[in-house]
Amino acid sequence: MQTHDDITEMISASTINARLDELAAEIDAEFAGEDVIIICVLRGAMMFMTDMVRRLNFPMEIDFLQLKSYEETTSTGEITLLKDVGDISGKHVLVFEDIVDTGNTLQFILQHLAAKNPARLKTCALLDNPARRQIAGIAPDFTGFAIPNKFVVGYGLDYNEKYRNLSYIATINGGK
């Protein structure tokens, strides 16, 4: 059995599941009758996106975008595109992101994808940390949870590639 004395649960698995049901209803209403391209921002949003697409009730394709912007617990301020999406021109697009904090990554994603001429571009983040926002006016269209300014792990989010497999969101003890 794996123990995690170094973390403290912040949002339980049952709370996450209940919120995902509500979020899916909001997104279904937004995209009713549309064919949508779902874009998952790897790696952190993978679990979130997977659980969400099983709840959504419209036709979809899935693609992936991979970026790098963090070293350990700190945003580097530089965003590197590691994997790009296919053609989204004229399509309805919904991007799943794990967390929006400074807003730099979300701004990069929006500018990058908007240049590909989608018919509509919406974003959905599991977590939003507005206290860290550096880019005014940047926020996800759909949000699972607003959180305080703490470094979080679990449910896809990691610290040095650890803790992604937790079914809940946690903070790291010891001030990380």
Write out the catalytic residue numbers: 101
Taking the C-alpha atoms of 103, 105, 107 and 113 in order, what is their torsion angle to the nearest 10 degrees?
-150
Instruction: Give the integer Cα–Cα distance in Å for 93 and 73.
Output: 29
Q: Quote the DSSP letter at residue 84.
A: -
Amino acid at 81: L
Contact yes or no for 57/29 (Cβ under 8 A): no
Buried/exposed 101-118: b ≥16 CB within 10 Å, e otherwise: bbbbbbbbbeeebeebeb
Contact yes or no for 160/142 (Cβ under 8 A): no
Rounded to 10°, the helix 13-31/46-53 angle is 60
Locate tokens 């590197």: which residue? 80
Name the residue among 157, 155, 158, 152 with its Cα closest to residue 171. 152
